[in-house]
Structure 1
Amino acid sequence: MDFSTTPIPGLLEFTTTPYRDDRGFFSRTFEADTARAAGLEPEAFVEDSLSRSLGGVVRGIHVRTGRGEGKLVRCSHGRVFDVVVDLRPTSPTYLTWLSFILDGDVQNSIYVPPGCGHAFQALTPLADTSYRIDRRHDPSENLTICHDDPDLAIPWPLPVTVQSAGDRDARTLAELPQDLGRILAAP
């Protein structure tokens, strides 16, 4: 397993080489030593979650306010167009976004640092996305930005098929100046 840095500080991509044979494949999806080499504490992760999405579904753009949350994200089955937006007001890449194709056949993953928004769109009829999160979930810290925010202009590859009510009702960055100020604020 290897890792690489990205232009957004703290955003990492992890890659592995699945072992393939006539049965399918085997892939290591997490290594504590590689996480440590990348500057992450493996013991910090306290929750694992999984979402299953139908093709075209967009989830996000979600971010946690306060201290934020770091998370390892990978598509365990199918493929997703994954987007990370730097929402840390003091970051040199504030409001910059990067996209990745997370692919269940490749088993690549990304680490989304605290203060960054996260979203993805399922590119296959079914996509399972796994999350390893470093904080317990606190719904009072949830913040959602609309996926089609004009200031971000993210080019989603497919027409959006389904969203949660919360994602559909999300506001734009321009409508959220006070909320954005709570990102990575002292608890």
Structure 2
Amino acid sequence: MDIQPTALDDVLILKPQVFGDHRGFFLESFNQKLFAETTNSSWSFVQDNHSRSTQYILRGLHYQTQQTQGKLVRVVAGEIFDVAVDLRRSSPTFGQWVGEILSAENNHQLWIPPGFAHGFLVLSPVADVLYKVTDYYAPHYESSLRWDDPSVAITWPLPPGVQPILSQKDSQGFAFPDAPNFP
């Protein structure tokens, strides 16, 4: 597994080794011991999630204010633009974001620790996204940051004139200055 840092402290790109031949391919998508060693953490995962979305659906930017979740995100069909926004007030990158293309073709994964908002935009006609989380879903602690907040200024790869498709909840996310954040 090749681990690469991003512009945000603690957010990492994981690139598994892929073994392919005329039959197809094999990759180890997760190994707890290797994950702990390479991320220098003791996180363990309690839940796996799977979402399927169509092109230009934007999910997020989600986080939980308690029972905070770290997420290990990967795509098994299609392609997404995956985003993390640092909501840790004590961080030197507070309020900054990073985005990565994750696809079934590149097999990259993004590790987003607790303290970040997370969202993604589907770039392909359909995308299946799998992600492991470090704590259980707690809807009463769920929050959402506006996808288009000007103070965060995420550069979403949308064609000119195309608006993302949002859930009602996501269209009513907090503006960054009003969003609950972390110490």
Structure 1 and Structure 2 fold alike (TM over 0.5): yes
Partner residue, 1:118: 118
Partner residue, 2:178: 175
- Candidates 154, 162, 165, aligned match of 2:165: 162
Equivalent pair of 1:77/1:104 in contact (CA under 8 Å) = yes
* Alpha-carbon displacement from aligned partner over 1:37-91 (angstroms, at most 9, x marks no partner): 122336x200000111101110011111135211111111111101111010111
Moved over 3 A (4+): none
Equivalent pair of 2:67/2:135 in contact (CA under 8 Å) = no
Give how far 1:111 is off. 0.9
Larger mean Cα displacement after TM superposition, 158-167 or 47-56 = 158-167
Larger mean Cα displacement after TM superposition, 135-144 or 27-36 = 27-36
Larger mean Cα displacement after TM superposition, 159-168 or 82-91 = 159-168
Name stretches of at least 5 consecutive residues in structure 1 with no aligned partner. none
**Whole-Å Cα distance in 2 between the matches of residues 171 and 113 of structure 1?**
20
Partner residue, 1:54: 54
Partner residue, 1:41: 42
Instruction: Confirm or deny that 1:107 pairs with 2:110.
Output: no
The one-letter code of the counterpart of 2:42 is: E
* Alpha-carbon displacement from aligned partner over 1:94-138 (angstroms, at most 9, x marks no partner): 011111111111211011011111111011001111110110111
* Alpha-carbon displacement from aligned partner over 1:143-162 (angstroms, at most 9, x marks no partner): 10111111111111123342
Larger mean Cα displacement after TM superposition, 123-132 or 18-27 = 18-27
Name stretches of at least 5 consecutive residues in structure 2 with no aligned partner. none
**Whole-Å Cα distance in 1 between the matches of residues 138 and 125 of structure 2?**
31
